[in-house]
Amino acid sequence: METASTITIRRATPSDIDAILPLVAGYRVFYEQPPDEPRERAFIESHLHNHTSTVYVAHVDGETAGFAQLFKTYSTVHLEPCWVLEDLFVAEEYRHRGVAGALLARALEHARDDGAAGMFLETAHDNVAAQALYEKSGWKRETRFIKYNAPLP
């Protein structure tokens, strides 16, 4: 008989960096970026120490299973803060167990608690599993605005 797993989500602190780094590397590889542990460490440590992002870490039965990283931005249209769900990643062995949904729910709770006008994210066109989760969770695909990327050296 299979026992139910316990998923816990908590806000990450700088002491979580070593547990989060393998997930960050996995996330970057998923998006076809080469692992770069020194830069990944510096990036996450900087944001955690300077409070320039909010990171939530998921544990399944005490094991680190996933993370979400949020960045605050502001809307002149709404004259209120908004949040960007920049990263959402679950290690392969913990997928299809509710971890991504729990992280997504916690991210939305964070934005609501902050009084944000909204939260948005981007995902790859071929990331249909993530798209299904977002749509199942009530997120709506953008139809009003077009995204552009500036070429920077």
Cβ neighbours of residue 138 closer than 8 Å, sequence gap 6 or more: none
Amino acid of residue 113: D
CA angle 25/31/32 to nearest 5° reads 85
Residues in the chain: 153
pLDDT in tens, 61-114: 999 999 999 999 999 999 999 999 999 999 999 999 999 999 999 999 999 999
Q: What is the pTM of this model?
A: 0.92
Phi/psi for 107 (5° steps) reads -60, -45
Query: Which fold, 7-136?
Result: Aminopeptidase (3.40.630)
Domain boundaries in the chain?
7-136
